[in-house]
Each structure stands twice: as structure tokens, then as C-alpha cells.
Structure 1
């Protein structure tokens, strides 16, 4: 039921030449597609077993979250189906690749879990994140891959729920390191802890979307209470609000400064977001955390306060 088809774009020969022979491509998934995520993979090298990309050529990969709980991962240029990932028991609502280019994929589902997949190991499921009590709508990995944030439909603010917004250090905290791979597998149940302040009646309605800012110091959230919020992780509280109706999703402009939101009534709106000049300390932390897990940071022979800063426990 999964296949690819191509059709030449309409237009004259001159237009086709200017577009490099552009074609319309369709990936037939056989199911309703709820979530999408792109990633660019490096070129395969000689000796690679079953390389996803052609030798010497990088490739664009697309993950699709489907209605029956499957995730299908495609090589876009050829339409080749790379993986069919099985594990979710309900609709896969959102997908997020690790921004550092590693073949790690996180999925969010109506089965109330998030799952972590390692596509370099034949699409093996390596982590299951539990703790939400309602559908999980969205997930976002921080730009340096040190944190994972998720949004779910919890409507009450109570211990263990955190108003539907949860986060976890990437490869640290309660995670147990695996000696054979360097990856991390959780215990049977891992509570998700929120870094944000829920002492007031914030987010007492369902969250729909969450995303990190490009520098990793802000979070944007969309909720059913008709507000777009921008959170400063350093302050652990919202620093900006915007009224919006029927909000469903949000995304930061890649270079910061603006947020786009999508709504049920078919509109995309653009909002000015706070700009921040990252400190030299944060830039150094971001550079380190791009390739060091939380567990690796905690193992470094450095002062405790520096470890806390590098793992975002303090700012």
C-alpha cells in the first residue's frame, strides 16, 4: 500500500529547464498522514552495509506519522521506503528529528507515549517515554539536542501532569546508560518533569503545540485557552502573550524573531517574538551539548555548578 509516483510539472520546456526538470512526487502511505519531519543524512561511505544514501551523495529523508500508529521513513529523491517503524498503538501526531543530523527520531502519539527511534540501527525503538495521561500532540527537540519537550491534552495542573507540558533531559536524569551502545533506556516508568512555573492557573486547558526557539532559550506554546505563550526557560515563566483563536500548531522562523501559528479555520498568522543575544556561556554550552549527552557531561571531571549549567538545571 506504500508506493511512490512521479509526474512532470505543468509548464513549458524553458520552465522545466529553469527548475532543473522539476517533478511532482507523491508518496502513497495508505493511511491518513498526521505528522511529518525532514532530516538531511550524510552521504554513504564505502563499506557501509545497506546505505540509505547513494555513495558520495547526501539525501533528504522524510518521516511520516500515520493513522494506524505506523511511522514510515522515506528517501525523498528516490521515493524508496527505508523503514516501517512499529510500536505505537494509536495515531502518530508529531515527529521530530534530532537537529544535529544524527539519525534519531522522536514520535508523539495518541497512545499517550513518546518513542525514540535509532534509524542507524535498522529503525530500532530505543526509548519509550511515559507520564502523560492524555493524547500527546507535539514534541520538540532543543537545537543542541539536550532537551525534549512535549505537549499533551491534560487539562488540570497536578503533580505528574504539569498542565500537559513536560520535558526531559536528553540522555540524562532518570535514564539508565546502556554500555553496549552509549544510548539510554528508561526504567519501566519515567516521570516527566517540567522546568516551568505552574504555581498559577497557567495552561489549565489542553496544549496543542510546543517548539523551541533557534537559540534554545525560549519555548512557544499554543493552548485551547486562545493564547500563544512564549516562555523564557531561564525565568521559568511566560514573557509574552498573544491572543489567538482555534490555534493548533506553532513554529519558529529558523533564524528567530518570528513565530508562525496555524489554526483550525485555515489561517497562518505571524507574530513578532522576543530576540535574545546569546551569552558566550550559552554559546559554549550549546556547542558542547550538540555532541555530548547529559550522562557524558555528568561524567566529566568538572565542578558541580558547571555540570548543572551544562545540563540546564541552572542558567
Structure 2
């Protein structure tokens, strides 16, 4: 099936992307820690934060509206194009204690993947025993999951930078992370150990399932909008779909 004719393509050239600004990683803050590769980046669902890995073992959390305002204030190479840009709308109902502020998280190992997650109070945990939990996530709490080179997944409170959970079951690099979009705090991780693992953060990070179906490394994963289907890709040159119930 032809998606477009040469004549149409010539008459309607693709729109050019406009550069707003550029963030640069600093030199290594740790002895004998080389590399400044930025492996991953993520936006908070409400647009309040931008998280990016600065190589080494560091993740920087930047209040996005403040960052964008700085870009527009100081100008860029494409400053004229960026004048019309507007900062994402942030929740006006957030409490002062949760006001976004810039800070850095030391994850202890090279960071390969990032994902933001937020809770919906009325969304019940899928676990059976829900009588007691070490952590209770509120509606105003914002979490950041970091997938590391050593196979661990660390869960952080975005506003305080406090480490909440340390999930340990993967045996290789955690290449990708994704939260279910329904606010249930179900987290899925994709790894080079050829598996995907499903975690319930409302059950203190309990691992619910191990999904095996990829014969090689798993590179990425994504939920359907209703959080019922998970699709994943890897080195096997195929998309694998699973129904989560």
C-alpha cells in the first residue's frame, strides 16, 4: 500500500523540528568513572520534571518550566523559532512541599532506563494480601524508576530524592522501564536477560510475573492506553504482545 505519492511529498515537505535548547553533562563527579553518555531521558506525566542520565551513575531532575524559561531568556541558535514555545502546564493544585526543584540522584551504577510513575488513590493494588504495606503512595507523590547496568531497579521519591525501593531480580542490564498508564503503579522492566518482569509498587515492589518469550535481549516495552496489553521488542526482530490480567 502506498502511503503517499511523489507529487504530494514534493508539494508538502515535512515540517522542520525547532531546537529549544541544549543541556550538557558535566565532567565525571566520581574518581575512575569514565564516560559522559546520556543513555535515557523522560518527562514526568504532568510536565513538571525532565529527568536525564548524565552518564556515570547520575540522574539529574530538572523542573521543566524553569528550564524552558531559561532557554527562552538566554536564547539559542534557533531563538527566533523558540519564542512562541510555552512551558507545559503544571498542576496548580500541588502543595508547596512538592514544588519542583532541581537536584541530582546518585544511582550507584550506570543508568540505562528511566520512567516516571504517579498513583491514583482509588486504583487498588492487584496483589492478594493488601492488609499492610511498608509504603503508601499518595496522589501527590511522583516516583522515578531507574534501570541500572547491574540489573537492579531503584525507585525514588522525585520531590525528596529519597530511595524507596531496590528491586533485585534481573541478572543483566535493565534496558527499558514503563509504568502502566492507569495509575496502578504497575511497573514493567525489560532486560538483556531475555525477560520482562512485572512489579507492583503498591505491594512494596512485589514481583508479580516473569514474562519469557524473547530468545534474545529485550530492548523496549510499552503498555496499551488501557493498561491491558504489553508489547515488547528485542534482538529477535519481532514484537511480542502479552495480555496482563
Could you tell me how far 1:249 is from its partner in structure 2?
1.4
Could you tell me how far 1:120 is from its partner in structure 2?
2.2
Runs (5+) with no aligned partner, structure 2: 28-35, 71-100, 120-140
- CA-to-partner distance for each residue in 1:55-113, whole Å, 9 max, x for gaps? xxxxxxxxxxxxxxxxxxxxxxx5221111112552211111111133x2111243221
> Does structure 1 retain, via aligned residues, the 8 Å contact 2:59–2:107?
no
Could you tell me how far 1:210 is from its partner in structure 2?
1.4
Aligned to 2:173: 206
Aligned to 1:169: 157
Out of 45, 54, 59, which is 1:114 matched to? 59
Could you tell me how far 1:253 is from its partner in structure 2?
1.7
Q: CA RMSD in A?
A: 2.8
Q: Which aligned pairs between 1:1-315 and structure 2 lie closer than 5 A?
A: 11=5, 23-25=13-15, 79-88=17-26, 90-102=36-48, 104-123=49-68, 126-133=102-109, 135-143=110-118, 146-154=142-150, 163-172=151-160, 174=162, 192-194=163-165, 196=167, 198=168, 202-216=169-183, 217-235=185-203, 236-243=205-212, 244=214, 245-274=216-245
SS of structure 1 residue aligned to 2:25: coil
Q: Provide closer, same or farther for how the CA distance between residues 255 and 108 of structure 1 changes in structure 2, counting only shifts above 3 A.
A: farther
- CA-to-partner distance for each residue in 1:111-161, whole Å, 9 max, x for gaps? 22111123322456922111322x21110001456100010111xxxxxxx
How far apart are the structure 2 equivalents of 1:170 and 1:239? Answer: 24
Q: Provide closer, same or farther for how the CA distance between residues 22 and 239 of structure 1 changes in structure 2, counting only shifts above 3 A.
A: farther
Name segments (4+ residues, structure 1) moved above 6 Å.
none
Could you tell me how far 1:22 is from its partner in structure 2?
5.1
How far apart are the structure 2 equivalents of 1:266 and 1:120? Answer: 38
How far apart are the structure 2 equivalents of 1:88 and 1:260? Answer: 35
> TM-score, normalised on structure 2?
0.63
- CA-to-partner distance for each residue in 1:158-177, whole Å, 9 max, x for gaps? xxxxx521011120364xxx
Paired residues, number: 179
Higher relative contact order (CA 8 A, sep 6+): 2
The structure with the greater share of residues assigned to strand is: 1
> Does structure 1 retain, via aligned residues, the 8 Å contact 2:193–2:218?
no
> TM-score, normalised on structure 1?
0.50
